[in-house]
Chain A
Amino acid sequence: NAGVTQTPKFRVLKTGQSMTLLCAQDMNHEYMYWYRQDPGMGLRLIHYSVGEGTTAKGEVPDGYNVSRLKKQNFLLGLESAAPSQTSVYFCASSYSRDRGLDYGYTFGSGTRLTVV
């Protein structure tokens, strides 16, 4: 099915471990985003990308890195996981600015990460 696919869906990490979350979209969208969702805080933007090879910081970028080597993939990395990074992570994608506003974002189903 067309859309945004996130892997893995669940993960438990120990403090200090590293991991990479993968987001893949097959809609030829230019823009991609990583959000984290925490109770009572809504969705907060971590990093985003407006095209292949580009990335930019969002509201809460510290402790995360991203890469967009291919247009369809957007990777979120945690180099040294901390308990404060326990959250649900959502990837989203959209067409370029104007078309993104017309059609909204397409979201993945999320990755639930627990850091112990």
Chain B
Amino acid sequence: AQSVTQLGSHVSVSEGALVLLRCNYSSSVPPYLFWYVQYPNQGLQLLLKYTSAATLVKGINGFEAEFKKSETSFHLTKPSAHMSDAAEYFCAVTLGGASKIIFGSGTRLSIRP
């Protein structure tokens, strides 16, 4: 069965600093991977997805993620953090043909002025 592990339940960075949120997956076959963002008191929104095309995936709001098969990782990055990036971020995985997505436990991102 597939699963994802998000390292760090809370990450705090200064405004303008690099954002790095870590996600490792476990899957016996090539997975599809996602990052979702949840702003306070809202549902989740799709940030970006990897579906076996380019390994570097660009998403909304300047975020990107790189699929590394050798490391079974799909870390989320943004070169320069903005105050509006403060939210909870979820990594998720599914298999091709599957009808449901499995979510990680989430990482709360805080931005210091």
Contacts and interface: CB of A to CB of B under 8 A. Distances in A.
A92 B101 CA distance: 11
A100 B46 CA distance: 11
Contacts of A48: 99-100
A33 B100 contact: yes
B44 A107 contact: yes
A40 B44 contact: no
* Band of interface residues on B: 20 to 34
Contacts of A4: 43
Interface string A73-104: 00000000000000000101000010011111
B99 A50 contact: yes
B49 A101 contact: yes
The 5 A-B residue pairs with the shortest CB-CB distance, nearest first, are A107-B43, A104-B46, A42-B105, A43-B103, A42-B103
